[in-house]
Every structure is written in C-alpha cells, then in structure tokens.
Structure 1
Amino acid sequence: MSERELKRDLAILPISVVRELTGLSDRQIRYYDQQELIAPQRGAGKQRRYSLNDIDRLIEIADYMDMGYTVADIHEMDAKKHRKAEPNTDVEMRKAFADELVRIGRFDNSRHF
C-alpha cells in the first residue's frame, strides 16, 4: 500500500462525523451497533470510533432499511454472503484451492477438474 492511500479501516471518526456523513441519527447508528450489524472500535473512555469501511457499511444498511428489509433480513443476507465465501465441501475446497493456484499462475487447472 502506498503512503498516500486512504486507510479505510482506521477507526478515527467520532459519531458526530458519522452522523453528518451518513444522514443517520446517533440512535440509529447505536442501534445498528447493538444489533451487531457493525462493530466500531472503542477509543479512550469507551467512545465509539468509526472507519471509512464502517461508513460504507452504515450507508449499505440504511439503503437496505429504506428498501424495507429488516435487521433479521440483513443478518440473513450477511450469513449467505459468508457461506458463499467459504467452501463447505471437500470438493469445493479443492476446487477453490486449485482456482487460487491458477490465479497466481502455479497450477494448470485444465488437467484436474
């Protein structure tokens, strides 16, 4: 990473800035934290500190809520994304591993699957 790239995971933003950037109220932001849809870091005095990634996530959550999704729906969508990201069978794991080796140029996938 170059020195000039944004550190999107650096948690430095207080809730007042997050409120301005997202258009959400303090109550909404804290509620999404309580519902474990986001997990801001804590600074001195246990104050929540947010990253740019947290801002993106809050905007995504707000968009889902505006579309009529519930907190439970969002948790379910997150779980599905997580399940898709992780191979769940031996064959899928071997295929994912082979695909990664092909991607980095260390394996000829045409001979094995």
Structure 2
Amino acid sequence: MSQQLRRTMPLLPISIVMQLTELTARQIRYYEDHDLINPARTDGNRRMFSLIDVDTLLEIKDFLEQGINMAGIKKIFEMKNQPLIAEKKAQMTDKELRSFLRVEMQQAGRMQKASLRQGDLSRFYH
C-alpha cells in the first residue's frame, strides 16, 4: 500500500482529531463548511478524517495564528491546488497575475521572509 493511499484513508473520528489538533468540533465543522477539508462519512453520517485532513487542519491553525484571515487561507489553498503558472495552458490575465503577485507578497510579509519578486514589484503595491 502506497504512502499516499495510507494518508488519504479515513481513519480518525472527530474526537481524536480534536485531541490531535486542539481544535473544537465547531471549528472543524466550520472549516468543512468552507470546503477547506472534506472528511469522509460513514453509513451513520459520522465524519471520518484522514491524515491529510489532520495536516490541513494544523496548517489552517498555523495560518490563523500568523494573523491570516479565512479569505486569505482560502486563497492560499486555491493557489496550492492550482497547477503551476508555467504548466497552465492558458495565459493568465493581467488581473489574475496582479492578484497572484499581491497574495505572494502579503504571504512573504506575514512569514517575515522576502519574496524573490518583492523588490521589483513593491513600487506597484503600496
């Protein structure tokens, strides 16, 4: 069995996930409502979480502790799930490129790291 398959298997009930992540059940359901995680459901409609779900919840928790709001977290996850720019078949519009670069610069600032493009682009965003 491959490691990726093991990590995607729904094994953990919400009570265990609450202990592992130190999140409340309400918080976990809230992140599910915002489509940041998608736990599997049993025949009795109980949520069962994979190790990837737990990793995602811990990542969300870290982002919140860094001061990133839910809209920012959603944008980060959207960007992570999109193919790389170089792999895109269609060209990005000017608006998409500006949005991508703005988010990249904001993330770099929040993590107290300099973006590679930050020096070149800082004159465009005040």
Partner of 2:84: 85
CA shift at 1:70, angstroms? Answer: 1.2
Deviation per CA, 1:47-75: give whole Å up to 9, x if none: 11000111001000000011111111011
Comparing 6-15 and 42-51, the one that deviates more: 6-15
- Alpha-carbon RMSD across the aligned residues, in angstroms, is 2.1
Partner of 1:18: 17
**TM-score calculated relative to the size of structure 2:** 0.63
Opposite residue 24 of structure 2, the aligned amino acid is S
The higher radius of gyration belongs to 1
- Provide the C-alpha distance between the structure 2 equivalents of 1:81 and 1:9, rounded to a whole number of angstroms: 17
- Provide the C-alpha distance between the structure 1 equivalents of 2:11 and 2:54, rounded to a whole number of angstroms: 11
Ranges in structure 1 where 5+ consecutive residues have no aligned partner = 92-113
- Provide the C-alpha distance between the structure 2 equivalents of 1:7 and 1:82, rounded to a whole number of angstroms: 20
1:60 counterpart = 2:59: yes
CA shift at 1:88, angstroms? Answer: 2.0
Q: How many aligned residue pairs are there?
A: 89
Q: Counterpart of 2:9 in 1: which secondary structure?
A: coil
- Provide the C-alpha distance between the structure 2 equivalents of 1:17 and 1:82, rounded to a whole number of angstroms: 27
- CA distance 1:31–1:89, shift in 2 (3 Å): same
**TM-score calculated relative to the size of structure 1:** 0.69
CA shift at 1:84, angstroms? Answer: 4.3
